[in-house]
Amino acid sequence: MKKVEPLIFATVIVRVLISISILFYPLEAVFLSIVFDLLTTWPLAWTGLDKKQYHQIDKSLDLIDYLFLIIVTVNTPIAIPASILLGIRLVGHIAFYIKEDSRVFIFFPNVFYFYVLLYLLIERFAWDIDINAWYVWIGLILFKLVHEAYIHIFPLDIPFKVVRKIKNEK
Q: Which residue has the higher pLDDT, 56 or 162?
A: 56
Query: Is residue 106 included in any domain, yes or no?
Result: yes
Q: Which residue has the higher pLDDT, 42 or 137?
A: 137
Query: Is residue 157 included in any domain, yes or no?
Result: yes
Query: How far apart (Å, rounded) are the C-alpha atoms in residues 24 and 11?
Result: 21
Structurally, how many domains does the chain consist of?
1
Quote the pLDDT of residue 32: 97
The alpha carbon of 55 is separated from its chain's Cα centroid by a whole number of angstroms, namely 11
Domain that holds residue 107: 6-166
pTM reported for the whole predicted model: 0.87
Instruction: Tell me the mean pLDDT in the region 37-56.
Output: 84
Query: How far apart (Å, rounded) are the C-alpha atoms in residues 22 and 24?
Result: 5
Query: How far apart (Å, rounded) are the C-alpha atoms in residues 170 and 161?
Result: 9
Query: How far apart (Å, rounded) are the C-alpha atoms in residues 38 and 79?
Result: 26
135 pLDDT more than 60: yes
Q: How far is CA 97 from CA 10, 50, 55, 100, 128, in A?
A: 24, 16, 10, 5, 40
Query: Is residue 1 included in any domain, yes or no?
Result: no
Predicted confidence band of residue 3 (pLDDT cuts 50, 70, 90): low
